Amino acid sequence: MPDRPSHLQSIISVPTTEQQLANKAIKPTKRPLSQSEDFVSAAIALADQTNLELGHKRARISPKLETSYNDSSFVPAPDLLGNEYTSSQTATQKPFWPKPYSENDPLPPSTTQIPGAAELRKTTNTRSLWHKKWRLPAQVIHGYAECGIKEMYPWQEECLSLPGLLEGETNVVYTAPTSSGKSLVADILMIKKVLATRQKAIVIVPYVSIVQEKTRFLKKALGKVQMEFPGIEGAQGFMGKSRRRPLNIVGYHSGTRNRMRWKDLDIAICTTEKANAMINVAAVDHELNQLGLVIFDELHMLDDEHRGFIIELLATKLLCLDQLIQIIGMSATLANVDVMAKWLRAHFYNCTFRPIPLAEHIVFKDEIQTYDGWVVGRIEPSSDKRLKDPFTNALVSLSCRPVREGHGVLVFCESKFKCEHLAQLISDFTPTVDDLPQKTVDQRYDLLRELATGVMGTGVDPTLEKTIPRGVAFHHAGITTEERDLIAKAYEEGVVKLICCTPTMAAGVNLPARRVVIYPKTGREYASPAMIRQMRGRAGRAGRDTFGETFVLTREKEFKEIKALLEAELPSVSSCLANENGAHGLSRALLEVIATCLANSPFSIDAYFRSTLLYYLHPTPPELPALLTVTLTTLSTQNLITEETSGHWVPTQLGTATVASGLSPTDGVFLSTELTNALQNFNLSTDLQITYQLTPIHGTNTPHDLRNMRWDLIRDTLESFDDADLKTATFITINPGLVNKMARIGGHLDESTPTLHATARTHRRFYLSLILRDLIHEIPLAVIARKFSAPRGSIQQLATTSKGFAATSATFCRVMGWTGLAVLLEHYAERLNLGVRDELVQLAKLPFVKSVTARAMWEHGLKGVGDVAAASVERVAEVLMAVVPKRRGVGEREVERVRERCREKAEVVVAAAGRLWEAECLVELDE
Ligand SMILES: Nc1ncnc2c1ncn2[C@@H]1O[C@H](COP(=O)(O)OP(=O)(O)OP(=O)(O)O)[C@@H](O)[C@H]1O
């Protein structure tokens, strides 16, 4: 038996030869281990199994791939359009549920429950969702009808009809313009798969906001769908009573509080990182056979410099598994769709159809031109001296007209400052409250009040206070997520008519507009052709408008360059696994498959490597095999994996902890060293050390506006420190001399050598920890923002990132066996989330209760959820009323409306407090 890593030796007793022989006959059984419960013991036990079964090729990367390791025909070459397509993913395992859909199956249930449904089923229109070709349950069809979709577009039908797709047997990658209805194709494949096989589906989207939006949509469309479970499987088929339950649709992203539990969901909508973590946990828990389908929305994100490599390593895992997982990839801006399809062993489908026609223009001076140079209109000069510049005049006049006609407009600006400035300027030219119906005016004032009360004590933004009554707002990363959500919702409901936003919003939020006005720059740089396409695609959404218009603005010297950008081909997507930014990509990819025991033998690791896009694009260069060897050796040197005498690689405890917490190998090593030191000298008499520990390791994870440190603030804070804080600052290695010098001369620290980089990192994290400390001491966000000269959105973003990092570190600590530290980190993550001191944590969990309200409750004698549960609705309403910011010149009618809203909210708060209190009492009784 080869030597084991020391941590394994202490836990596992080495089996005798007889035991090994006995074990060989036993198939690995599924153990009910949850992710958080004990990732390490699962991984260790799996490592043990792997050791026992070396002779059996236990690794779960497809044995088919393993055996073809030395075979020159190893890399499968599937056909493009599927006629000769043969999936190399042979389903050698019995599917989790034994019944895939087939043409001859009876029609899905509930047909007879809907009046007239039987008739509808007889339709000969193959694009109707009722047509028997699709075999969709009536609840699904009704759900989509409620969302305005009754019939497919021709391209959707054609795409879904590709061989093997509806049967769940083949993969597909497709492109279609923005707003052409890509999601429906993926949704239909997903729902068919989930209902037919009872397997899980994962939808991967790039941004948190899209996770939320997609989850809302799927809940609306599929919320009434029932899953059927036909009894218990026995030797003679299914026995016992069948049962039904609604479909579980859950969204996961860095901000979600709920734990990911495989058994709690049927469809998960996740960010890339969450999806990857979920698949790793399922692999360790032996539950991957429950996964039936994965959708990659916005597949072009594969070459995103920060997160693209995670999409690649995740997709590669799916390609290598010894089971059939249907892969769906889609994008509006993917140039080399054929290459992606070949890599993913998929059909590909390319469509240029757009259901809503778009009139596209470029504006030069006062001329409105089509892209091929025809002048189709002119913009009248304005007598207003603020609009003397033709560019500003064009922007304002093009933006205001549809607003006056009652349509939605998006104006894309190059910076946050410009968004706010233009919102203010444009609002001076939109209808005043005197020209609007009373209902609209009321709705706009309601929005202002929501903005003032709902945002962690920031009060309403002074610019928004002026622009919103005139139907105009701005939306960028500098405002809080609550503000952004309220503004986006108000725009969707038509309360706000025009939003000035930064280009990142085009990708992050799905807001439709009749007209889109674009200045295609981000900061001083031009926006990329793909980003410009995304912005243009916001105009004219199906179901909302009958047509859309885009106007791309240019300044005089920029006309040619911008025109070229509009006509530019999209760049091809390629692998980021081995480039500079994805330097950790390959090592993380390998560490993950080793730590989750998906691949441990040299054969299976090599098979995995050969399935990457990196290898697919460069199948024969001499440096790639060397890259694999070097990466494995580096991981071993970092003590993340060890090589057994048989040549198999197994994870160390550090390697397992790194993967379980979703860190890159280098970050895992860094965190391990830092926490080992911290554990020996932890100072609990101050919050400083723990808040320092919560700050993100990398500068790139720091919000942009916080990268310019205020050294004078650090100096002054150091001078005001008591002994405990000073001791911590010294332990962290803060250099007061350096701080004084930087406060005098200003600027950034030199980071050109590893030592200088480490010093800069320490001081940056210390600066951020001062912000976090203020947050958990209930200092209002607006005050912190002013103190650190940064937008409130950036402070909030730091809090969110740090909360996520705290959760990551806590998982890491648990797997490493540092449970006490894990509990402490989790507690602070919660306080950061709620923005309160210890005593308010429970109160701040109530709906509508942010830190300011929780403090007001405490001061009014409502010191816990028990007090709130026992209080009258009137008393709670009074507290809520007390924290509503006072506005001058508000009439009696308005005050009455506010009082009514507070009463409604108080009812919800008291009811929620009752439930929480009951739950707490039950726990106490149990104990
Ligand atoms: N067959 C259809 N009939 C009517 N409306 C449809 C149909 N398919 C999609 N839609 C609607 O078209 C709109 C755009 O669809 P979807 O969000 O799927 O577009 P997309 O191609 O994914 O766009 P983007 O790339 O911008 O996200 C949605 O409101 C959707 O409900």
- 408 belongs to a structural domain: yes
Q: How far is the CA of 537 from the centre of ligand 1 (A)?
A: 11
Question: Which atom belonging to ligand 1 lies closest to the Cα atom of 544?
Answer: 29
Phi-psi region of 471 (alpha: psi -120 to 50; beta: other; left: phi over 0): left
pLDDT, position 235? 63
Question: Which atom belonging to ligand 1 lies closest to the Cα atom of 541?
Answer: 13
| 24 pLDDT more than 70 | no
DSSP 291: E
For ligand 1, mutation pick of 146, 183, 328, 352 (most atoms within 8 Å of CB): 183
pLDDT tens digits, residue range 644-676? 988 899 999 999 999 998 888 989 999 999 999
Residues 266 and 146 in one domain: yes
Report the CATH number at residue 309: 3.40.50.300
Residues 697 and 618 in one domain: no
Residues 719 and 784 in one domain: yes
**Residues whose CB falls within 8 Å of the CB of residue 36, separated by 6 or more in sequence, listed in order:** 259, 811, 814
Residues 513 and 638 in one domain: no
The token duo for 881 is 């009323």
pLDDT, position 236? 62
Question: Which atom belonging to ligand 1 lies closest to the Cα atom of 298?
Answer: 25
Give the CA count within 13 Å in the CB-facing half-sphere of 868. Answer: 37
Q: How far is the CA of 542 from the centre of ligand 1 (A)?
A: 6
| 247 pLDDT more than 50 | yes
Could you say which of 625, 651, 677 is where a domain stops? 651
- 86 belongs to a structural domain: no
Question: Which atom belonging to ligand 1 lies closest to the Cα atom of 355?
Answer: 12
For ligand 1, mutation pick of 140, 149, 203 (most atoms within 8 Å of CB): 149
| 535 pLDDT more than 50 | yes
DSSP string, 779-810: --HHHHHHHTTS-HHHHHHHHHHHHHHHHHHH
Which domain covers residue 922, as residue numbers? 845-926
pLDDT tens digits, residue range 705-733? 777 888 999 999 999 998 888 988 998 88
**Residues whose CB falls within 8 Å of the CB of residue 479, separated by 6 or more in sequence, listed in order:** 461, 487, 791, 792, 793
- Span of 174-188, 367-381, 596-610, 772-786 with lowest mean pLDDT: 772-786
Protein residue closest via CA to atom 25 of ligand 1: 178
Q: Is 362 exposed, middle or buried (0-12, 13-18, 19+ CB in 10 A)?
A: buried
Residues 442 and 516 in one domain: yes
* Rounded percentage of the chain residues whose pLDDT exceeds 90: 29
Rounded CA-CA distance 652/44 in Å is 9
**Residues whose CB falls within 8 Å of the CB of residue 689, separated by 6 or more in sequence, listed in order:** 678, 682, 683, 728, 731, 732
- 790 belongs to a structural domain: yes
Rounded CA-CA distance 804/661 in Å is 11
Could you say which of 788, 804, 835 is where a domain stops? 835
Protein residue closest via CA to atom 3 of ligand 1: 149
Q: Higher confidence at residue 585 or residue 498?
A: 498
- Span of 119-123, 350-354, 385-389, 482-486 with lowest mean pLDDT: 119-123
**Residues whose CB falls within 8 Å of the CB of residue 445, separated by 6 or more in sequence, listed in order:** 469, 894
Angle 135-137-138 from CA coordinates, rounded to 5°: 120
DSSP 547: -
The token duo for 651 is 């994870």
- 435 belongs to a structural domain: yes
Within 6 Å (CB) of ligand 1, which residues are found?
Answer: 147-149, 151-153, 156, 176, 178-184, 332, 537, 541-543
pLDDT tens digits, residue range 790-833? 888 888 888 888 888 888 899 999 999 999 889 888 888 878 77
pLDDT tens digits, residue range 427-438? 999 988 788 888
Task: Report the domain count for the chain.
Answer: 5
Protein residue closest via CA to atom 16 of ligand 1: 181
Q: What is the mean pLDDT of residues 51-66?
A: 33
Rounded CA-CA distance 319/327 in Å is 9
- 98 belongs to a structural domain: no
| 683 pLDDT more than 90 | no
Protein residue closest via CA to atom 1 of ligand 1: 152
Residues 224 and 287 in one domain: yes
Question: Which atom belonging to ligand 1 lies closest to the Cα atom of 150?
Answer: 3
pLDDT tens digits, residue range 566-605? 988 888 888 888 765 445 688 899 999 999 988 888 888 9
Protein residue closest via CA to atom 13 of ligand 1: 542
* pLDDT confidence tier of residue 65, bands split at 50, 70 and 90: very low
Residues 489 and 612 in one domain: no
**Residues whose CB falls within 8 Å of the CB of residue 453, separated by 6 or more in sequence, listed in order:** 883, 884, 885
Is the pTM higher than 0.90? The answer reads no
Buried b (16+ CB within 10 A) or exposed e, 61-100: bbbebbebeeeeebeeebeeebeebebbbeeeeebbbeeb
**Pick from 464, 394, 404, 462: nearest CA to 432:** 404
Residues 249 and 173 in one domain: yes
Q: Is 237 exposed, middle or buried (0-12, 13-18, 19+ CB in 10 A)?
A: exposed
Question: Which atom belonging to ligand 1 lies closest to the Cα atom of 177?
Answer: 21
Our measurement of the distance from residue 828's CA atom to the centroid of its chain's CA atoms, rounded to an integer in Å, reads 23
Residues 675 and 639 in one domain: no
pLDDT tens digits, residue range 216-233? 899 999 988 888 776 666
For ligand 1, mutation pick of 144, 150, 179 (most atoms within 8 Å of CB): 179
- 366 belongs to a structural domain: no
Q: Is 623 exposed, middle or buried (0-12, 13-18, 19+ CB in 10 A)?
A: exposed
Protein residue closest via CA to atom 8 of ligand 1: 181
pLDDT, position 201? 96
Protein residue closest via CA to atom 22 of ligand 1: 182
Q: What is the gyration radius of the CA atoms in the chain, in angstroms?
A: 29
pLDDT tens digits, residue range 168-203? 889 999 999 888 899 999 999 999 999 888 899 999
Contact present, 248 and 233 (Cβ < 8 Å): no
Q: How far is the CA of 149 from the centre of ligand 1 (A)?
A: 9
- Span of 497-511, 765-779, 800-814 with lowest mean pLDDT: 497-511
Could you give the 3-state DSSP secondary structure of residue 499? strand
Q: How far is the CA of 118 from the centre of ligand 1 (A)?
A: 28
- 367 belongs to a structural domain: no
Question: Which atom belonging to ligand 1 lies closest to the Cα atom of 182?
Answer: 21
CA 789 to each of CA 16, 322, 713, 782, 792: distance values in angstroms, whole numbers, following the listed order = 66, 54, 11, 10, 9
Residues 536 and 640 in one domain: no
Residues 344 and 410 in one domain: no
Question: Which atom belonging to ligand 1 lies closest to the Cα atom of 331?
Answer: 25
Q: Is 310 exposed, middle or buried (0-12, 13-18, 19+ CB in 10 A)?
A: buried
Q: What is the mean pLDDT of residues 746-770?
A: 88
Q: How far is the CA of 184 from the centre of ligand 1 (A)?
A: 7
- 83 belongs to a structural domain: no
Report the CATH number at residue 710: 1.10.3380.20
Q: How far is the CA of 354 from the centre of ligand 1 (A)?
A: 10
Question: Which atom belonging to ligand 1 lies closest to the Cα atom of 534?
Answer: 26
Most confident listed range (37-41, 198-202, 851-855): 198-202
Residues 344 and 255 in one domain: yes
